[in-house]
């Protein structure tokens, strides 16, 4: 089956997740169509199912993914779909932060008109290697608030690759 993976990313973790999904689907005999919506990927290729992925920055996903979902709302709603929402809140168990993640996903779907078949909150990463000076300071403070030990010049990944792989297998099996 041809399965679209349309994604947006700011520091690269969602791209890594999208590529992981593509490899996983290919290994099971599907044809993944990887589309970076921020670099001119505006058209939606023909596909039997779609995975859309974006990350949370200050309470919102990347606008390019929202525009993509809005533009292709009807075709997306007619297929099996999943939204992978990448964030640091999903790495923790703070109930308020999880409520926020649910609200962000609901608001995104209400604005775009696309109702994802499934919404999956995926733990992302601190990517200090990609932050500018001010972001590094802000993210160090956030890490400190969360009681996390981080290398201020390195990366710290929280994505659970085994769980994500199992989810993608399950999605593809049901879609097929
Ligand atoms: C400036 C900035 C703002 C962020 N805002 C949030 C936020 O509001 N909620 C959250 O859970 N994570 C937040 N994050 C964490 C990102 O969602 C996380 O680092 C994710 O892995 C980024 O994915 P990307 O590399 O694909 O952009 C923020 C990160 C940065 C750098």
- pLDDT one-digit tens code per residue, 79-131: 999 999 999 999 999 999 999 999 999 999 999 999 999 999 999 999 998 99
Residues 18 and 102 in one domain: yes
Confidence of residue 152 (pLDDT cuts 50, 70, 90): confident
Residues 91 and 42 in one domain: yes
What pLDDT score was predicted for residue 40? Answer: 76
Residues 55 and 139 in one domain: no
Alpha helices (H) in the chain, listed in sequence order: 13-27, 63-71, 73-77, 95-112, 133-145, 161-175
Residues 60 and 102 in one domain: yes
What pLDDT score was predicted for residue 16? Answer: 98
**Helix/strand/coil percentages in the chain, nearest 5:** 45, 25, 30
Residues 116 and 132 in one domain: no
- What span, in angstroms and rounded, lies between the C-alpha atoms of 168 and 120? 11
Ligand 1 centre distance from Cα of residue 84 (Å): 14
- What span, in angstroms and rounded, lies between the C-alpha atoms of 164 and 168? 6
Atom of ligand 1 minimally distant from the CA of 11: 25
Residues 37 and 111 in one domain: yes
What pLDDT score was predicted for residue 114? Answer: 98
Section 134-146 average pLDDT: 88
What pLDDT score was predicted for residue 147? Answer: 84
**Residue 75 burial class via C-beta count within 10 angstroms: exposed 0-12, middle 13-18, buried 19 and up:** middle
Domain total for the chain?
Answer: 2
Ligand 1 centre distance from Cα of residue 48 (Å): 30
Residues 165 and 153 in one domain: no
Which domain range does residue 117 map to?
2-124+161-175
Residues 148 and 165 in one domain: no
- What span, in angstroms and rounded, lies between the C-alpha atoms of 25 and 33? 10
Whether 38 shows a pLDDT value over 80: the answer reads yes
Atom of ligand 1 minimally distant from the CA of 54: 26
Residues 112 and 25 in one domain: yes
Section 158-162 average pLDDT: 97
What pLDDT score was predicted for residue 12? Answer: 96
| Ligand 1 pocket residue status of 59, Cβ below 6 Å | yes
Residues 150 and 99 in one domain: no
């Amino acid at each position: 089956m041809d399965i679209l993976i349309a994604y947006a990313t700011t520091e690269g973790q969602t791209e890594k997740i999208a590529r992981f999904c593509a490899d996983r689907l290919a290994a099971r005999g599907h044809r993944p169509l990887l589309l970076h919506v921020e670099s001119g990927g505006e058209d939606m290729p023909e596909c039997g199912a779609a995975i859309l992925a974006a990350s949370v920055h200050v309470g919102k996903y990347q606008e390019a993914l929202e525009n993509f979902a809005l533009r292709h709302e009807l075709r997306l709603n007619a297929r099996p779909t999943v939204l992978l929402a990448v964030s640091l809140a999903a790495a923790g168990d703070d109930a308020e932060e999880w409520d926020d993640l649910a609200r962000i996903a609901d608001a995104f779907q209400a604005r775009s008109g696309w109702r994802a078949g499934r919404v999956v909150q995926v733990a992302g990463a601190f990517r200090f290697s990609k932050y500018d000076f001010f972001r590094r300071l802000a993210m160090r403070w956030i890490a400190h608030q969360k009681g996390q030990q981080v290398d201020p010049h390195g990366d710290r990944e929280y994505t659970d690759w085994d769980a994500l792989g199992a989810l993608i297998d399950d999605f593809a099996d049901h879609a097929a």
